[in-house]
Structure 1
Amino acid sequence: MSETSVAPARAWQSVLEHVESRLLAGELSPGDHLPGERALSAGLGVGRSSVREALRVLEAMGLIRTATGSGPNAGAIIIATPGGAMSALMRLQVAARGFPVADIVRTRLVLEAQVVSDLAEASPAADLVIAESLLDAMDAPSLSPAEFLALDAQFHLALAEASGNQVITATMAGLRGGIESYVLDGLDRIADWGATCSRLRHEHRGVVAAITAADVSLARSRIRHHISGYYAETLPDSH
């Protein structure tokens, strides 16, 4: 590979590394402006095209917001909203089948056990209105299996959001497509959907009841049983 083919990549990466080092050193914080293109280009010894490429990457990562014009809101400003970018990155990996289903399930077991623990320990009690409204919606007898499972995925995400842990919520949102994919793929391997649907409803209510009762151990046990039970029931070689 020629030197000219790798130089542009190294140039814009050096801008990213510069911003990262200033963040780690506490020299940049949310709300601060980055220096302008010309200043970054001169200060780092890279072309302005490389600076623009780095800024596009930083914006896609959810680290900066850019605006044209003049005034206090113009230019590149450090922001603290990584959740959307993190979720988008994970969704792309899921869409590209970069994560094995077994790994998604194991990750759910870890994350959701922590979610229900946090909810059960919350003081004052966590707001579960959205999660409970989704459970009520899942009681509708007219739902198709796909509609029920879509609401099921929303319920699990609603619990994560109620916990207030932004990292877990972003991760769960990013994994949602992968979760919906494997639960839908397993439908054909369910011998009696009516019985499974009834069991899932009961398990959901049991998780919420344990959270409401502030029983951390029971909430963790029930969510793990719920997640692993469906996965075991719908494994390709389980029938």
Structure 2
Amino acid sequence: MKNYELVLHRVEADLAAGRLRIGGRLPGERALAEELKISRPSVREAVRVLEAMGIVRTATGSGPEAGAVIVAEPVSPLTALLRLHLATNHLPMGDVVQTRILLESWAAREAAGRPLELDAVADLLDRMDAPGLSPEEFHLLDAEFHVALAGLAGNVLIAAVMESLRSAIHGYVLAAVPNLPDWEATAVGLRGEHRAIIAALAKGDGDAASRLVAAHIQGFYQAAQLSS
């Protein structure tokens, strides 16, 4: 284990045990170095990693705001890390589709049991109805719609994973357009399927919404003749 990882494990243990909380301050650089028997540069390296992960915010100086403070911003850093990880790998198309079906069908079923504000999602659908949209413009909105749909379930981790998948979704969907025999007809069908999903959610029918989402994703995958 590298020296800076000792600090990361210490912070993780303190957060899990409740010894560190949001707004709490990490022990000073010298104190951590002495406690863990590592160098102060190793402590500084660990703090930089924690800051990049969005776990702490740092400020220099000697006043009350100085040092490393635990902050509550888990989603954006997690999403960024997942997106970077996904970007380094060639994801099999079938794996992306299966993951989407699992996440989005669960999210649709879960969302149906919650009080929902559907105006923002409906606005995306209206924007997708605009005449003259290019396939790229349509699918950018489509990816945004599916991320928003997953977010309705209220699960922060599911929302973060879906946000990280946004680029992969947009990329493979757009690449599939030339395989479609009639893009305009396909777009009409996708719009109708989107609205059927939202209608099921508005009625609180989670099972129907879940089935419609799964069929919507799988149907496009098959129509575009995408290989895994």
Q: Settle same-fold status: TM greater than 0.5.
A: yes
Letter in 2 for 1:32: G
Note if 1:106 corresponds to 2:98. yes
Equivalent residue, structure 1, for 2:16: 24
**1:236: how far off?**
3.8
Gaps of 5+ in 2: none
The match for 1:159 among 135, 143, 149 is 149
For residue 73 of structure 1, report the CA deviation from its aligned partner: 2.7
Cα offset for 1:163?
2.9
Q: Is the 8 A contact 2:110 2:153 kept in 1?
A: yes
Q: Secondary structure in 1 aligned to 2:68?
A: strand
In 2, the alpha carbon distance for the partners of 1:207 and 1:136 equals 14
Whole-Å separation in 2 of the counterparts to 1:107 and 1:71 = 48
Please give the secondary structure, in 2, of the residue aligned with 1:121.
coil
1:179 CA drift (Å)? 0.7
Q: The residue matched to 2:24 in structure 1 has which SS?
A: coil
Residue 186 of structure 2 corresponds to 196
Superposed CA RMSD in Å reads 1.6
Offset at residue 108 of structure 1 (A): 1.0
Residue in structure 2 matched with residue 88 of structure 1 by the alignment: 80
Task: State the identity as a percent.
Answer: 47
Match of 2:42 in 1: 50
- Quick one: structure 1 residues 16 and 214, their matched pair in 2 at CA, closer, same or farther if it must change by over 3 Å? same
1:117-132 residue pairs with structure 2 within 5 A?
117-122=109-114, 125-132=115-122
Hey, what's the Cα distance between the residues in 2 that align with 1:172 and 1:16?
27
1:237 Cα deviation from its structure 2 partner: 5.3
Task: Note the C-alpha offset of 1:80.
Answer: 2.5
Identify unmatched segments of 5+ residues in structure 1. 1-8
> C-alpha distance in 1, partners of 2:23/2:106?
31
Residues 55-84 of structure 1: CA distance to partner in whole angstroms, max 9, x if unpaired? 111111121111123433321111222211
- Taking structure 2 as the reference length, the TM-score comes to 0.94
Aligned to 2:171: 181
Residue 186 of structure 1 aligns to a residue in which SS? helix
1:132 Cα deviation after fit: 0.2
